[in-house]
Structure 1
Amino acid sequence: MIDRRIKFRHIQCFVEICRQKSLKKAAERQFLTQPAISKTLKELEDILDTHLLNRSRAGVSLTKEGEVFLHFAEMSVASLQQGLYGVEQISSGGKTRLAVGALPSVAARLMPSVVQALSSLTDDVRLSISDGPHSFLMDRLRRGELDLVIGRLGAPDTMKGISFTQLYHEHVVVVVRPEHPLCGEPNLARLSEWPVLYPSEASAIRPLVERFMIANGIGEIPNRIETVSGAFGRSYVTKSDAIWIISAGVVANEVEDGRLVQLPFDMDTTRGPVGLMVRQESEAGPAERMFRLAVSQTIRDLKMD
């Protein structure tokens, strides 16, 4: 039997502390003081009569008991969020809400066609689409704020509790404006001569790009801007001599139209799987199944491998 002394605030605070790996950061996210969130955690541990977290100057880490409890605590928070969305669905006239997260490359290249394909299959689904870096989307997926995410396969520690279904492969490209000096004489060794838009630390492609740089003997790039923002990248690169290192899907339309030029570097080592990610305990409802069908049709029509 569940101890009635356990309140939702206990579960919510514990999950947030684990996500942030810091009492201070978790308190900020929950709009609480650090003493208040520490007190809430202690209340939970006292009720369960066990230690869930180890505290140190470096932050917090889960005990074995904490690992077990976190798995089900995250499921509880996500389930409640889905319940709230269900109430919202009834209030919105019966359409099923499907919240989808997409990495920038997916949002730019795949999603417009997916939306068109879905609208031809059904008019009973109300899509909510969010884009952003991998870690941001994974966090929202675990919270239950997103039903699914389409993006690159992340590092193992970011994929705990997540089911991944591969859809296609994608690589990273280096692009510039058509009149850029490198267009006439492509040379990786000259990258540092201009500003470089570089994948941010939280992005899924960052490790791939860094390995590519090391393999090609490219050292530290002093004048680099870390971002995966498609809107900023398109505007800045077309108006300057900046060099943009980004997933191919983000700039596929611009390269095809000639607004950007892909430099002929061998980027095969940055090739990686893009797939559909959901929480392991979730079951696909009718809306998600129709969405998956629309995705499959789009990938086939666009001939994406």
Structure 2
Amino acid sequence: MIDRRIKFRHVQCFVEIAREKSLKLAAEKLFLTQPAISKTLKELEEIIGATLMERSRSGVALTKEGQVFLHFAQMSLASLQQGLDGVERAGRREKERLTVGALPSVAAWLMPKVATEFAALAPDAILRIMDGPHGYLVDRLRLGELDLVLGRLGRPETMQGISFTQLYNEQVLFVVRPGHPLLDKPELRRIAEWQVIYPPEGSAIRPLVERYLIANGIGEIANRLETVSGAFGRVYTRQSDAVWIISSGVVANEIAEGRLVKLPFDTEITQGPVGLMTRPDAVATPVQDVFRIAVRNVVGMK
């Protein structure tokens, strides 16, 4: 049980002092006197039974105990603010909004099912979906323009400051139109005889594809067109003899409906995790939690 002697003013004062690194500045921000805010901090330390901050002429510094308490104090204040915002929105009957980024590997196959499930679970929420390449969407997530991103795990250097929760694994496929001449004699070394739609530099699957081709004795493919555009790839591949190298999720519907054909190459080593990406410092809102439930419900149906 939480000690009932801890009041909101204790937590608020502590967080503000930690933010300003000064009793004087924190007092001014909260419209309190310095003796009053110092007394409040002392009361909190006595209740907890630990020194949370060390005072010096240069200001205040958190102790190890203070660092631990600050993390949860900030989360508590953020959650309380979200609750107040939620009450205000409910009073105005304003719909909650959620902006989600979807990489090509999930935009066409997974997102429509998730959107349907989410609409059933949160009919009053407005879902905004933005698709695009990995780097673009992750940058939008870091900037706070996106609440979540759903897609394949990127390279380590692109995932700095991003939290990733894996949902399932997905592999890369080689697909062609029905009746393609390569289907008569499907050998991997022959793909260079036709134009190849290839993942561009910076895409999540590019390193996997390069390693796979090298492992199978295939060097650089000269006649190639680089894109991760699912809309372009679907149309161009059906209207040409191009061989498309792409994540399975992008073409799952087309393969199931017979509009594209998967070449019988063993690409198991190209498997990679697909999941939810978030900012680790962001506190999940109720509508985000509902979206996570919708995603897990859909993935569980696979």
RMSD: 2.2
The secondary structure found in structure 1 opposite 2:150 is strand
TM-superposed deviation, 1:130: 0.8
Question: Does structure 1 conserve the Cα–Cα contact (< 8 Å) formed by 2:105 and 2:152?
Answer: no
TM-score if structure 2 supplies the norm length? 0.70
One-letter code aligned to 2:249: G
Distance 1:219 1:100 in 2: 37
CA deviations on 1:39-64 (whole Å, 9 max, x unpaired) are: xxxxxxxxxxxxxxxxxxxxxxxxxx
* Distance in 2 (alpha carbons) for counterparts of 1:257 and 1:155: 32
Indicate the residue corresponding to 2:156 in structure 1: 156
Is residue 2:289 matched to residue 1:294? no
Q: Does 1:184 align with 2:168?
A: no
Aligned residue for 1:218? 218
Q: Distance in 1 between matches of 2:181 and 2:120?
A: 45
2:207 alignment partner AA: P
Is the CA contact 2:195–2:241 (under 8 Å) kept in the aligned structure 1?
A: yes
Paired residue for 2:104? 104
Rounded Cα–Cα distance in structure 2 between residues aligned with 1:279 and 1:204: 19
The Cα of 1:260 is off from its aligned counterpart by 0.4
Shift, 1:93, TM fit = 5.4
1:158 and 1:125 map into 2 onto residues whose CA distance is: 31
- Offset from partner CA, 1:125-167 (integer Å, 9 cap, x none): 1111011111111100001010010111111111111111000
- Check 1:230–1:93 CA distance in 2 against 1; reply closer, same or farther (3 A cut): farther
Partner Cα distance (1:93, 1:271) in 2: 45
Structure 1: distance between partners of 2:119 and 2:134 = 27
Give the aligned partner of residue 246 of structure 1: 246
In structure 2, the residue matched to 1:260 is 260
What is the rounded CA distance, in whole Å, between the counterparts of 2:264 and 2:224 in structure 1?
A: 21
Partner of 1:192, secondary structure, is: helix
Q: Identity over the aligned pairs, expressed in percent?
A: 61
User: What is the rounded CA distance, in whole Å, between the counterparts of 2:261 and 2:156 in structure 1?
Assistant: 34
Corresponding residue of 2:201: 201
> 1:136 matched to which residue of 2?
136
- Residue 272 of structure 1: aligned partner: 272
CA distance in 1, matches of 2:144, 2:102: 15
Gap runs ≥5 in structure 2: 1-19, 22-77
Deviations 1:88-143 (A, max 9, x none): x96x9511111100111101110000011111112121111011111111100001
Structure number, greater radius of gyration: 2
Partner in structure 1 of residue 147 of structure 2: 147
Q: When the two structures are aligned, how many residues end up with a matched partner?
A: 221
Unaligned runs of 5+ in 1: 3-78
Which residue matches 2:64?
none
Aligned equivalents of 1:124 and 1:285: distance in 2? 15
Distance 1:192 1:285, change over 3 A: same
- Tell me the distance in 1 between the aligned counterparts of 2:172 and 2:124: 36
SS, match of residue 190 in structure 2? helix
Q: Distance in 1 between matches of 2:119 and 2:138?
A: 26
- TM-score scaled by length of structure 1: 0.69
C-alpha displacement at 1:215, in angstroms? 0.3
Whole-angstrom distance in 1 between the partners of 2:181 and 2:226:
22
Q: Aligned residue for 1:123? A: 123
2:108 match: secondary structure? helix
In structure 1, C-alpha distance between the alignment counterparts of 2:289 and 2:152, rounded to whole Å = 21
Letter paired with 1:268: E
Q: Which residue number in structure 1 is paired with residue 53 of structure 2?
A: none
Aligned counterpart, 1:169: 169
Question: Which residue of structure 2 aligns with residue 46 of structure 1?
Answer: none
Match of residue 26 from structure 2: none
Deviation digits for residues 11-39 of structure 1 (CA, Å, limit 9, x no counterpart): xxxxxxxxxxxxxxxxxxxxxxxxxxxxx
